[in-house]
Amino acid sequence: MNAVLDVQEFRVRYGHSEALHGVDLQVREGELAAVAGANGAGKSTLVGAVAGWSRGKVTVTGSVALDGVDVAGLAPHRRVAAGIVLVPEGKGVFENLTVEDNLRLVRAARDARGRRYSVEDVYAVFPQLKERATKKCSTLSGGERQMVAIGRALRAAPRLLILDEPSVGLAPRLVLEVLQHIRQLVDEGLTVLLVEQNVRATLEVADRIYLLEQGKVAAEGSAGEMRADDRIAEAYLGGLRT
Ligand SMILES: Nc1ncnc2c1ncn2[C@@H]1O[C@H](COP(=O)(O)OP(=O)(O)O)[C@@H](O)[C@H]1O
Ligand SMILES: [Mg+2]
C-alpha cells in the first residue's frame, strides 16, 4: 500500500537534549494511524517536526516524505500547501470570533481530487456547528471547539490531517464523540494521523497504532494486534484486555 506520509530515522533535539531518538512511521492512504503515549513521550515533538514547526532551538534530522516527495526542507506554510495540515494541541480556533468567521477565515483550498470543503460542507460534517454559527467560540463546549478546529483544518484540503490530542480536556462522553467524528472522516476517504494520550480510546477508533515511549517507538501494530499485546494491556489498559 502507498504511504501518504513516510518518516524515517527522525531525530529531534532541543538544544543538547534529544527528545526523539530515530523514529520510523508511515501513514497509509485512507487510514487512521495514531501515535499514542504518555505525557512527555515526544508525540507533539514528532508531529510538530513533521509539520515543520519548531519552538525554540530545534534540530531535526531524518527524512519526511509526503506521497514519496521529500518535504523535510520546506517551510511550514509550504508543507500546508503540500497537504500536511496540523491542528496543534489546544489551539486552532480564534476564541473571540464566531464559528462561521473562524471557518470563513481559512481560504478554501482544493485537495488532490479537486474537492473543496465549503463552510456548508463543514456544517454537514458537524451539524451542531451550524446551530452555533453566530456564537463566539469562547461560548462553545470543548468538544464543539475541537469541531471548529477540525473544520478549519478541513477547509485547507489536507492530504494528511494531523490532530494533536483533540480530546484533551474533554469530558469522557465528548472524547468518544470527537474521535468518532474523526473516524467518520477517515471512512469517507481522509487520511489522518491522530495523537492521543488515551490508549484505550485510541484502540477504539484507529486502524494502526504507534506506541511512543521516551522518544522511541516501543510497539506498533494494528489496533487488533495492540489490543492482544499483554504488555500494552498491562501498562495502558489496567491489565484488563477488552
Ligand atoms: N520547546 C521545548 N524545549 C525543550 N524541551 C522540550 C520542548 N518541547 C518539548 N520538550 C521536551 O521534549 C519531550 C517531549 O515533549 P512533547 O513532545 O511535548 O511530549 P508529548 O506531546 O508526548 O507530551 C519532553 O521531555 C519535553 O520536556
Ligand atoms: Mg503533546
Give me the CATH number covering residue 173: 3.40.50.300
pLDDT per residue as tens digits for the range 8-24: 999 999 999 999 999 99
Q: How far is the CA of 1 from the centre of ligand 2 (A)?
A: 29
Q: Is residue 59 part of a domain?
A: no
Res. 1 pLDDT band, cuts 50 70 90: low
Domain-located, residue 25: no
Q: Is residue 227 part of a domain?
A: yes
Measured from the Cα of 56, ligand 1's closest atom is 1
Which atom of ligand 1 approaches the CA of 165 most closely?
21
- The closest residue, in CA terms, to atom 25 on ligand 1 is 40
Of the candidates 152, 205, 76, 184, the residue with the CA atom closest to the CA atom of residue 194 = 205
* Predicted confidence (pLDDT) per residue in 53-68, tens digit: 876 789 999 999 999 9
Instruction: Decide if 75 contacts 93 (C-beta within 8 A).
Output: no
CA atoms within 13 A on the CB side of 138: 3
Q: Span 216-228, mean pLDDT? A: 93
Question: Which mutation among 12, 14, 196 tests ligand 1's pocket best, with the greatest number of atoms within 8 A of CB?
Answer: 14
pLDDT value at 237 more than 80: no
Residue 241 has pLDDT above 60, yes or no: no
Kindly list the protein residues whose Cβ atom lies closer than 6 A to any atom of ligand 1: 14, 19, 37, 39-45, 55-56
User: How many helical (H) and strand (E) elements, i.e. helices and strands, does the chain have?
Assistant: 10, 10
Residue 69, in any domain of the structure:
no
Q: What is the pLDDT of residues 176-206, one digit of tens each?
A: 888 999 999 999 999 999 999 988 889 999 9
In sequence order, the β-bridge partners of residue 64 are: 7
Residue 214 CA to ligand 1 center (angstroms) comes to 10
- Asked if residue 74 belongs to a domain, the reply is no
Q: Are 124 and 90 in contact (CB under 8 A)?
A: no
Ligand 1 atom with the shortest distance to the CA of 45 = 17
213 found inside a domain: yes
Domain-embedded: residue 58: no
The pLDDT of residue 134 is above 80: yes
Our count of domains for the chain comes to 1
Number of the ligand closest to the Cα of 12: 1
Does 149 reside within a domain? yes
What is residue 138's DSSP assignment?
Answer: G
What φ, ψ does residue 150 adopt, rounded to 5°? -70, -40
Confidence of residue 105 (pLDDT cuts 50, 70, 90): very high
The CB-side HSE value for 47 (13 A sphere, CA atoms) comes to: 27
Distance (Å) from CA 219 to ligand 1 centroid: 20
Domain, as residue range, for 174: 30-50+82-236
How far is it, in rounded angstroms, from Cα 56 to Cα 23? 21
Q: How far is CA 176 from CA 15, 28, 29, 179, 182, in A?
A: 37, 23, 23, 5, 10
Cα of 62 vs centre of ligand 2, distance in Å, is 21
Tell me how far the alpha carbon of residue 115 lies from the centroid of ligand 2, in angstroms.
Answer: 31
- pLDDT for residue 229 is more than 80: yes
Q: For ligand 1, what atom is nearest to the CA of residue 41? A: 22
The Å distance, Cα 226 to ligand 2 centre, comes to: 21
